[in-house]
Amino acid sequence: MFLIILGLIWNKVDLSNKWLKITFWSAVYGTFANCFGILIAAIFNAGKMLGIAANGQEGTPVIEGIVTFSLISLSIAMLVVSVAVLVGLKHKMKSS
């Protein structure tokens, strides 16, 4: 859903080519890391970071590390995307 909405407003984002590429690839990474991390957590009954959704299940330290890395890195990537898009939209509003 996030990528669909981002695609609808993408042409309104006023950023340099470098930042457009960073934002694009961060969005792609973040959405796929989310799917990957949750899938791995579901397959191996891991989920120390998933709280109530994991129902107290805990996987091996390696699997928990993969899930934790995935969830933390996707959060950082999506934060970068959100800030960049908001800055780009603000630039577009000023220039209009």
Could you say which DSSP state residue 41 is in? H
Q: Give the pLDDT score at 8.
A: 95
**Average model confidence (pLDDT) across the chain:** 87
Q: What is the pTM of this model?
A: 0.82
Average pLDDT over residues 20-30: 96
Residues 60-80 pLDDT 10s: 889 889 989 999 999 999 999
Torsion, CA 51, CA 82, CA 12, CA 10, rounded to 10? -50
How many other β-carbons are positioned within 10 Å of the β-carbon of residue 37?
23
Q: Give the pLDDT score at 45.
A: 83
Q: Give the pLDDT score at 38.
A: 87
Query: Radius of gyration (Cα) for the chain, nearest Å?
Result: 16
Whole-number percent of the chain with pLDDT over 90: 58
